[in-house]
Structure 1
Amino acid sequence: MYLHLGQSVVVPYRDVIGLFDMDNTTSSHLTRRFLERSEKEGRLEMVGDDIPKAFVLCGRQGEKTRIYLSQLSTATLKGRAEDNQFTLD
């Protein structure tokens, strides 16, 4: 199953490590530094043109993590992830 992050970007559900709210997490200098470093390393991708509301941390064992900035809220992304779980039955 896949998680739709907005626009035409989808990621495999099994690759999602975490969903993070931009307002709550970027108040920390550590999170801001992590996002800045990820951007410099080319691992950060903007999904859409609007102001991001969430970032999604994705990765697989043995690969570098990818960070997607999404214009969708964490509640919307969480709902989509939960919907994917129900379709597996």
Structure 2
Amino acid sequence: MYFHAGQDFVLNTRDLIGVFDLDTAGASRRTEEYFRHAEADGAVVDLTAPGTLPKSFMVTDFPDETVYISQLSPAALKKRAEGSDLK
């Protein structure tokens, strides 16, 4: 099933590896290093609207490992992903 991940972008729930809170996970040195490598590989997609702060990031494995940064909270993304299974 698909769900809206922000900025008119839709993801397939089966491609989703995880949804992470930028406030907690973003403070980690390992997460910072992971982002640095992902950016160097061109695997980071920013879904935030101009002028808004990102709240979460999602890691997917299709077509390759990609990181999507979203202005939506992890709770909102979880609710959307769970709600898409009901349709």
Q: Calculate the TM-score normalised by the size of structure 2.
A: 0.91
Match in the other structure for 2:86: 86
Could you tell me which runs of 5 or more consecutive residues in structure 2 were left unpaired when the two chains were aligned: none
Residues 28-80 of structure 1 show CA distances to partners (whole Å, capped at 9, x for unaligned) of 100011011101110000002321100000114xx520100000000000000
Q: Distance in 2 between matches of 1:85 and 1:9?
A: 18
1:57 maps to 59
CA RMSD of aligned residues (A): 1.1
| Percent identity of paired positions between Structure 1 and Structure 2 | 36
The equivalent of 1:70 in structure 2 is 70
The match for 1:12 is: 12
Structure 1 stretches of 5 or more lacking a match?
none
Partner of 1:44: 44
Q: For residues 67 and 3 of structure 2, what CA distance do their matches in structure 1 show?
A: 14
Q: Report the Cα distance in structure 1 between the residues aligned to 2:13 and 2:64, rounded to whole angstroms.
A: 17
